[in-house]
Homo-oligomer: A and B are copies of this chain.
C-alpha cells in the first residue's frame, strides 16, 4: 500500500476549493482524468470517500470534512519548507576560508573583496595569503575552503575552476620604452633577472619561460630570498634589474613604472588563475559567488591575447 503524497494532497485541496474536478485539474495543470484517478486512488488507499460527487458543486463528505484541516496543514507546512529552502539559498551564512598566493593577493583582493564583503554581510570571510603548497595542503586537510592560485595543479583530491588568463610583461629598468616594440624572450638579460624565492609559482613560471636552471644565484656572492613583491621591485629599481610581471600586478600600481613595461612577442606566455577546492567541498553556492565576483572585477582589465602559451606553475 502506498502512502499519501503531497501531490495527492494538492489535488484534494484544489477540489475542495473549486468544488469541481475539472476546475481543480486546471488549477493543478493536469488533466481532469489524472486528477480524478489520483483522488480515487487516494480514497481507495484511505478506504474513505472524501468527496460526494453527486452534489453540485462537489462537496466534502462528513469524513472528508473531518480530515480537510489536517490536509491543509500538511500542505501548508510543505509550502513553508519550500519557502524556507528558497530563503536559505538566498541567505549566505557561515564562514568561507580563502587562501590567496602572495603574487596575487596585493593586486587581486582589492579588486573585489570589499564589494564581496559588503554584499554578503552574513558570510565570515577568512582570507589568508599563503603559497600554493600551503594552500594545497590545507585544502586537503579541509582546513581551507578555497584557494586562489595559479593553475593547473595536479592533485586527485582537488578540483580547480578557471577564472582568467594573465599575460606576463617584461619589467626592464635598464631600457627606455622607445627602444623595443615587442620584447623577445631571448632579449632578456638573465644576468639582471630578479626573482622571488623558490616557493612561489611565479618564480617557477618565469624560470620556465626563460629556460633557466634551478638553484641559480643572482650574483656571484649574493643569495636573494624574498616573498615580497615590494622588495623585489625596489631592488630591481636600485640595480636596474629585470623581471617578468603578470599584467594585473601592473594595473593601477604606482610602484611599477609603466615606462619600463614591455609586452612579450607571441606566443605570449600567460599564467592561468583559478579557484581550487577539495573534491568534496560542499559550499558550492558560495564558491559560485566568489567566482563571479572575481571574474566581474578582473575581466574589464584584461584583454585576452590570441596567441598565448599557458605556463605551468610547476
| A residues neighboring B (CB under 8 Å) | 3-7, 46-49, 52-54, 61-63, 66-67, 70-71, 73-74, 77-78, 80-82, 84-85, 88-89, 93-94, 142, 280, 282-285
Contacts and interface: CB of A to CB of B under 8 A. Distances in A.
Q: How many copies does the complex hold?
A: 2
Contact of A53 (B47, B82, B280): B280
Q: Classify the secondary structure of A's interface with B.
A: helix
Given A3-B82, A5-B5, A89-B47, A73 B67 contact: no
Nearest to A45: B85
A18 to B, nearest CB: 20
Contacts of A70: 77, 80-81, 84
Given A81-B67, A81-B70, A142-B54, A61 B6 contact: no
B85 A46 contact: yes
Contacts of A73: 77, 80-81
Given A47-B89, A85-B46, A282-B49, A74 B71 contact: no
A268 to B, nearest CB: 39
A80 to B, nearest CB: 6
A63 B46 contact: no
Contacts of A52: 280, 282
Contact of A61 (B74, B80, B82, B282): B282
A15 to B, nearest CB: 15
A7 B297 CA distance: 44
A30 B73 CA distance: 28
Contact of A285 (B47, B85, B88): B47
6 contacts: A48-B89, A53-B280, A61-B282, A67-B81, A70-B84, A73-B80
Nearest to A279: B54
A301 B82 CA distance: 62
A50 to B, nearest CB: 9
B88 A63 contact: yes
Contacts of A282: 49, 52, 61
A67 B48 contact: no
A7 to B, nearest CB: 8
Contact of A85 (B48, B61, B85): B48
Nearest to A61: B282
